[in-house]
């Protein structure tokens, strides 16, 4: 068997950057899938109740536009801005989750159920500062704030569950054939 200068056979050492790339990839995929599942569910519910299906994107876009206007940056097209914000934040949050699960030993769970629970808790906790900006910047009424937080809790629960399932399953699949 051929040996390298370090005295190990090629291909036998584990490349940590490779496992981080896998975690980053699965996290990003989970973030996109979770965001998509959350948005499709919300659109279906809004359509069933006869409300405009793009309401969430409009609210997120209004919040982002208001934030940018405070920085003297003008924004137009709040629905498109809301879509862009949603599909930028979701994959980024997912990628960070994938990296955390791969790097923090306490977060490496071994069952799908625990992975889903971890994803749910992560998304719910991490989304709170972002969700808090909307009622503040848009000066919402108390009933609107309660509706906002209630709906956001349920939708982010869906996103977190999907994120946890995708990352948990993906990282388990990538380590499946390796000896422990």
Boundaries of every domain in the chain: 19-174
Question: Cβ distance 64 to 81 under 8 Å?
Answer: yes
Q: Which of 4-8, 14-18, 60-64, 166-170 has the highest mean predicted lDDT (pLDDT)?
A: 166-170
| Model pLDDT for residues 53-63, shown as the tens digit of each residue | 998 888 888 88
Which residues contact residue 55 at a Cβ distance below 8 angstroms, ignoring those fewer than 6 apart?
46
| Model pLDDT for residues 12-21, shown as the tens digit of each residue | 555 556 688 9
Q: Is 31 exposed, middle or buried (0-12, 13-18, 19+ CB in 10 A)?
A: buried
Please give the share of the chain, as a percent, with pLDDT higher than 70.
82
């Amino acid at each position: 068997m051929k040996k390298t200068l370090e005295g190990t056979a090629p291909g036998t050492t584990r490349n940590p950057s490779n496992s981080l790339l896998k975690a980053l990839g699965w996290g990003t995929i989970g973030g996109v899938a979770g965001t998509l599942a959350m948005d499709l569910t919300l659109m279906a519910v809004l359509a069933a109740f006869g409300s405009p299906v793009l309401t969430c994107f409009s609210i997120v876009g209004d919040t982002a536009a208001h934030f940018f206007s405070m920085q003297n940056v003008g924004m137009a097209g709040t629905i498109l801005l809301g879509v862009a914000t949603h599909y930028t934040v979701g994959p980024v949050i997912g990628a960070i989750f994938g990296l955390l699960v791969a790097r923090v030993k306490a977060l490496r769970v071994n069952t799908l159920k625990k992975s889903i629970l971890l994803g749910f808790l992560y998304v719910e906790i991490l989304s709170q500062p972002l969700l808090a900006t909307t009622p503040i910047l848009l000066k919402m009424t108390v009933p609107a704030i309660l509706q906002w937080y209630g709906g956001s809790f349920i939708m982010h629960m869906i996103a977190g569950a999907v994120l946890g399932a995708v990352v948990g399953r993906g990282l388990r699949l990538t380590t499946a054939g390796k000896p422990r």
